[in-house]
Each structure stands twice: as structure tokens, then as C-alpha cells.
Structure 1
Amino acid sequence: MRQRQQAQSHKRSRLTNRMLVAAAALLLGGGGLAVVATTALAGNNAPDAAAGHPHMVTATTVSCPDVGQKLRKVPRSAQLQVSKGLASLDRQVSDAYHRMTEGAGDEILARLKKQRSRTIGTMVTAIAKDATRPDYLLKMSGCTTKPTGVDGQAAAKSTNDGWNQNQQQYPNQSQPQDPNQSQPQDPNQNQQQGQVQGQDGGQQQPGQVGGPSPDDFVDITTVQPNAGDPPFAAPQGNNASTGTFTTECGRNEDGHFNSDNVIVTPGVSNGAHHTHDYVGNKATDAFADDRKLADSDTTCQNGDQSTHYWPVLRKLDGTSEQKPGAGHDGNNGSVLTPASVNLTFRGSQSGQVRAMPRFLKIITGDAKAFTNGTKNANASWSCTGFEDRQLKDKYPLCPQGSQVVRTFAFQNCWNGRDIDSANHRDHMTFSDQNGNCPSGFTPVPQLVQRITYDVPQGNSFAVDSFPEQLHKPVTDHGDFINVMPDDLMNKAVNCINSGRECR
């Protein structure tokens, strides 16, 4: 009888602990898993636990080495296999993250490592058939957990602190705001504002499992100016090419959406695990090669067939569409149509620019910056009327009547040879503050994508992301494939180099 009572007591203890884990995950915000000290999870009756000593509760997500960023040469014969491999790695991380949110244990990381090891091995073998065998990739199978939510504030601070070091182009415009200004003026008021009505009459607010977290938002009026003229300082001075070329491609009124990524994972459906918003080329999906893009119609008024895309912004209204890239991948809420989309090419501080080659592919920002770090991050959030204040790792809370602004200033130096590279980054880079490109690179027109939104008041919106990236604002990114006809690109270059404003 006594043994039965003890067993029932242990069962109740384990149930209570599981309930505590679930509650902690919801309360901490932004985290995918609440991890409680092992003694508490095991129902350990050690003196410390019995005495009621508090246990450390931390929200975490899955953090894995980014294999795609370490690729250096992928022969044509291996491109599809590598693309499928990268998509498989993302899916494995996503599945592991979801299992962790359901309360599975540490064995998930061991299982994930085995899966990744097999997938990476397949990629290495495919590359080795026609290129040097990249055995260094085999060391990238192991993953860890990363603190988020409350404990993630320290990581968020380091994001701002390290921004100048990683961002070369406009160092004087990326100064971090006062850390004391990184939180809304009234946190309680902020949480109340963040509650929005769901379909079922319930309330949804940031801080639930999967993010975003309340501390991902900041009142823009509390941020000190840290940028030049909006959207950023334009080239000026005697040597600068000061003209601009603007192409008008609409706001995706036709509803061109998919969760593919034709640059990173061509030939694979749902390669992004989040939904992209498209303007320009109407044929863009995972299976659109250069020929298909060149034959496609466009939403651009001047005949520009280029592809522009970015993750959608969603209103956190309690809706969920269970399909890839949306609710199936943890991206819930109604998609917000931009209020405006401005696509402008501008010149260089150091002198004239040369034409971009057709089918040049550029990614700016990093969809996995929350776990990768900020080396390639390039998110810029602000509000209309406050664009001298740019946020890198926070969403802006805008005053009534002010719109949320996302700005992507793309890399403006090209290596003069390649329209793409194995990691989709090495062929492009940023100039320094004087407009000078690194050795071996030459200035090309800089694309600036500026997108505005009317959003509900409060912390009631979020950008789509990979599930384990928790909708963090630092993961925002933009993509571009130049499909301008050569004569249109030459017109743009002439306008920029002659100091004119053209459309």
C-alpha cells in the first residue's frame, strides 16, 4: 500500500513538473522550449529541491552550424543534390525544434546530429565527384540549444553592440541606441497593446511558444537618432555618382506568395519554411531558372523582369492557415499587404558605377541571424517620420498614424565575374563609408528596397521566419535577381552616373 502511495506521489510530481515546463514556455516568451533544472524534472527529492530553492528556468531554441554559409565551390553536377541537402537540414532542425516544444528530452540533439551527419555526408560525396572534397563540412553536424526570451536579452544586446563591426557600409549610421531605451516606456502597457482579437474571440499576444517575445519590441520615440537621411545617407560629394533609378513594381496586389527560395534551395518546394512576398517577375518559384525568368511577364511598369522578394509581415490576429510556409511552419496570422513598396537603385560615394550583369543574384540579411550571429545580418526597422532611427534587432512600436518601415540596403560591390557564389554571398560585398570597394570588387548600382505597412497598434505583428528563429526581427532579409533587359540596366547606370533621377 505504501509503495502504491509513493508511486502515485511520484506520478503527481512528474505531472506537476510537466505542467510547470509548459507554463514556463508560455510565460517567458520567444522561446521554443522551457528547460527546468534536471533535479526538478526528475522529481528529485534532494535537500535543495525539498527546501523550495528556486530552479533556473530558461527558454531555448535549436542552434546548428549553417552549412550553406560555409560552401565554397559547388559544381553544376552537385547543385541539385546540395540544394536538397540544405532543405533537408532545415527540415531536420525544424522537426527537432517542434519536438522540443512538445517536451521531448536531450536525446533529440543526438538524433539530430545523426540525421545531419548523413545528409552532410551525401552533400560532400556529391561535391567531391567534380570538385575538391569539402570534408570540413562533416564537422558541422552537431547542434546545441540557445537561450531565448528573457535570457535572450543579453544576446539581443550583443547584436546591437556588434553591428558596426559586421556592417561596413555605413558605420556612423548604425550606432546602437542607449540600452536603457531598448524597452518600451511602460512594459505593462506594451503587453496590453499587444493583445489583439483572434477569430474565436480569444486573445493572442507575443510571448507564446514560437515568438515573438515582448522584448522584441521597442517604442520608436524612445530611440535616439542613429542614421543619416532616410532611408540611409545617399551618396554625395564631388566624386559621388548621385543619381537614382526607381522601378515601380506594385505592392504584390496579385498575391504572389510561396515558401520557396529559388536562390538558396532551387528545385525544392518550401525551401524557406516561411512565406515570401514577391513583386516584379511573375514566374518566380523554386523551379524558375534564368530562362523561365527571362520569358516571364512582370508587375514592373517599365518592363523590368527582376525578382524582388522578402518574408511576409503578419498581423498576430489568431488566424492560422495550415499549409507549408504558414501555420505548418509556425507562421500564424494574417498576411499584411504593404502600404507601399519603393525599389531604388543609387550610386557610389567613390565614383561611377558599372552595370550589373543579367541574372545577378543577391541576398542581404540573414534568415538565421538569431542563431548564426550578426555577421551577415542587415535588418533595418523603423517608422515613417522617424527613419533617422533604425533598429537592427527590435520591432518598432510606431505612434498613431505612423507606418512600420522595413529597409534593405543591398551589397553594392561585385567581384566582376560571378552572378552567384556557392554560399550566395562571396561574389558581393559592401563598400566602406567612403564608397570604396575591397580589392577585386567594383561598384554597381545599390538596390534599396523600402517597404511600409499599416499595422495594428502595439506589439501585434511579426515577420515570417524559420520555426527555430522565433520570428526575431534581426532575421529579416531581402532577395533580388536582376533580370533587367540590358538596355534598361544601361539606362539606370547612365542616370545614376550623370546625377539624374529617373524612372
Structure 2
Amino acid sequence: MHIPTWRSRWKRWHAALVIAAILIVAVLLISAQRASAALPILGAEAIHAHHHQLALPQASEPPLLPGPDHMTNHGPWFQIVCTLGHRLRDDPIVFPSQPGASHEHQFFGAMGTNAFSTYAQLTSGGTTCGDKADTASYWVPTLYDEQGVLRSPRRVRAYYYANTSDSAALQAFPPDLRVIAGDARATSTQPLGVIHWLCRNRRDQSAGLPLASNNPPRCDRDEYLSLSIRFPDCWDGINLDSSDHRRHMAYSDEQKRCPATHPVKLPKLRLSITYEDGAFTGGNFTLGGPRGQPHAISWAAMHADFWNTWRQSALEEYVNGCLKRARSVRSTSCQR
């Protein structure tokens, strides 16, 4: 009878180990392929596959969850939380001294903003914001659902980001600057980097990163609708407004650089608006008035206005003490 030697036994064990290793590698490769296939696609393919829905890219817009861990690509930042203000069919930037000429807007920040408001009035007045130095005026069109019911936002958060590779060059918004984000005449979706919508779970804020969409999504009753609007952050350095209310401002590029035509880098302002009163059925709502009213506009025309009527010394202390000093804080903990 043949008795296997230690050499023959070692050869058999070695062969078995090689086969086992090959099988393990094969399993790992298959798992990796499946995992990569499950990752969200960015770019044109994603737009086609998800009907204009994209996983929110960390490099372009941060998630709507506040906190420094979610904002690191934008550098230092601070936020101001404001409650609901008044509603009027006024727009003191586009239709100054013309009351009732606009579609309906929901105002935040400076109290009593109207078609006749002046810079001096707003800077010396009250505010709906938690930081009483923020007497700036913010406004967006009112939102009406398919039944013609007004759906009021619960709050707005104004996020101010450094968003620059050269903090020394960053400047505060100049006094009396007027800025518009979004297009009130749009009839189709606007760029995702300017306007985006998403649904968030009411009970579990950590329930995964939601998809951002430039189409209004369908939100269930256990979710609320969030809207994000990003303002341009480069100024021409001369004009506080312009004939079309746009040409004096521009957006920085992906490297956070301003174009030569608009060389002054300002903070990146983003409004995060929360609607929490019931389910939303996608894009079946109107802005600025109920469906059928002559002043109502399409959901696609969402936009926002910002009039810098801050108490300027306080804004400059925020910019110099927070945004230019590599600190990311909430307004209540920012030392001025």
C-alpha cells in the first residue's frame, strides 16, 4: 500500500489553498461589481435614468442637513433661521413703488417690506430672523397646491458660505445690494445648482441622503418638501442693481473662481425653505397665486430675492470673524 509522504500531502494542500483563494477573489469581484452598479449615476445618464433626479453631488451643493460635516467643501459658513413674515403682491426690486404689480410673495427677515420700502427703513426696523442684526429682506413666490390652497413654509434658513480658495479676497455683501436667484419667467426646469427640491422624512432626519431634483417631487404625508435656492456670489464691484437685476452678478465656477467681468467674491448665499403642512403631489402647484389667477406662474419659475439691508457692521463681523477665519458655526455661537 502506498503511504503519502509529507511532500505529496503538501502539494495537495497547496492546490486546495490555491483553488480556495481563486474562489474568494471571484466572489469579491462579483460583489464589487454589484455594489458599483447600485451607486447613483451622475451626469446626463442620471438625468435620463432618474427623470431629472440626481444624487446630490458633494462638490456642487451640500445636503440640506445643517452642520459643518455636511458643508466642508464650501469652507466656513454660518446660518440664520427666520420665521414666516407677511405676504404681498409686491416686489421692491423688480417693481419698486408699484404696489400690487407683482405676483404674490412670501417675505422673511425685514418686517414690513413692501413696494415703497427704503434701505434706511429696513435697516432700522424689526426682523423675523433669530439674529436681530439680520434685517435683510428675503422673499420667494407663495406656493398654492392643485386645490388652490396656500401652502406656507414653516421656516427659512439662510446659509452664508465662504466658498472661496482665497479667504483674504472675500468681501461682505455691500450695503443696499439687490440680488435675484432663479428665473421668474422660466417655463421648464432650471439648473440643479440654482434651484432644487427634495423630500425629507419627518421622523428620521438621518434616513439616508435624499435625491435632489429640479422637478418638484411627490412627497408623502410622512415627509416634508424642502426647497433650496442658490444666489450668485460674484459682483461687478460697481452696481448695486442693474436694469435686468442680474447682469451686475454672476456665479463662481467649480473652482470657486469669479469671472473677470465680476471679480469681487462675495459669500455664497443659499436659502433652504421648508414646507411641512401635508403631502405634496409633485409639480401640480402654482406660484404667486392659485391656478387660474392672472398673476399665478408655473412651479418651474421658482426664484428668490435678496436685498442686503443687514445691519452692515454685524454682517461684516460675521464675514471677517467667521467666514474668513476658517470657522463653521451657527449664528448663535458665532462671536461678533
Cα 1:235–1:180 shift into 2, 3 Å? closer
Structure 2: runs of 5+ lacking an equivalent: 1-40, 202-207, 332-336
Aligned residue number for residue 389 of structure 1 = 211
Does 1:345 pair with 2:214?
Answer: no
Aligned residue number for residue 195 of structure 2 = 379
> Aligned residues, how many?
268
What's the CA shift for 1:436? 0.3
> Does the residue aligned with 2:213 lie in a helix, a strand or coil?
coil
Does 1:408 pair with 2:242?
Answer: no
| The structure with more strand, counted as a fraction of residues | 2
Aligned residue number for residue 360 of structure 1 = 177
> Does the residue aligned with 1:384 lie in a helix, a strand or coil?
strand
Distance (Å, rounded) in 2 between the aligned partners of 1:279 and 1:442: 27
Aligned residue number for residue 448 of structure 1 = 270
What's the CA shift for 1:234? 3.8
What's the CA shift for 1:406? 0.6
2:298 partner letter:
K
Distance (Å, rounded) in 1 between the aligned partners of 2:307 and 2:42: 27
Cα 1:468–1:275 shift into 2, 3 Å? closer
Cα 1:243–1:450 shift into 2, 3 Å? same
Distance (Å, rounded) in 2 between the aligned partners of 1:405 and 1:375: 16
Aligned residue number for residue 249 of structure 1 = 82
| Higher RCO (CA-CA < 8 Å; seq separation 6+) | 2
> Paired residue for 1:462, among 275, 278, 285?
285
Cα shift readout 1:405-434 (whole Å, capped 9, x = no counterpart): 110111111112221111111111100001
Within a 5 Å distance, the mapping from 1:17-416 to structure 2 comes to 177-179=46-48, 181-182=50-51, 223-228=53-58, 229-231=62-64, 234=71, 236=73, 242-252=75-85, 256-272=86-102, 274-303=103-132, 304-317=134-147, 333-352=148-167, 353-370=170-187, 378-384=194-200, 388-392=210-214, 394-416=215-237
1:405 partner letter:
S
Structure 1: runs of 5+ lacking an equivalent: 1-171, 183-217, 318-332
The worse-fitting range, judged by mean Cα deviation, of 462-471 and 302-311 is 462-471
Distance (Å, rounded) in 2 between the aligned partners of 1:245 and 1:365: 22
| The structure with more helix, counted as a fraction of residues | 1
Within a 5 Å distance, the mapping from 1:401-440 to structure 2 comes to 401-440=222-261
Cα 1:374–1:225 shift into 2, 3 Å? closer
Cα 1:281–1:175 shift into 2, 3 Å? farther
Judge conservation of contact 2:42–2:54 (CA < 8 Å) in 1.
Answer: no
> Does the residue aligned with 1:480 lie in a helix, a strand or coil?
strand
Aligned residue number for residue 204 of structure 2 = none
Judge conservation of contact 1:364–1:410 (CA < 8 Å) in 2.
Answer: yes
> Does the residue aligned with 1:345 lie in a helix, a strand or coil?
strand
1:480 partner letter:
F
Aligned residue number for residue 125 of structure 1 = none
Judge conservation of contact 1:465–1:475 (CA < 8 Å) in 2.
Answer: no
Cα 1:374–1:293 shift into 2, 3 Å? same
Judge conservation of contact 2:286–2:296 (CA < 8 Å) in 1.
Answer: no
- TM-score normalised according to structure 2 size: 0.71
- TM-score normalised according to structure 1 size: 0.49
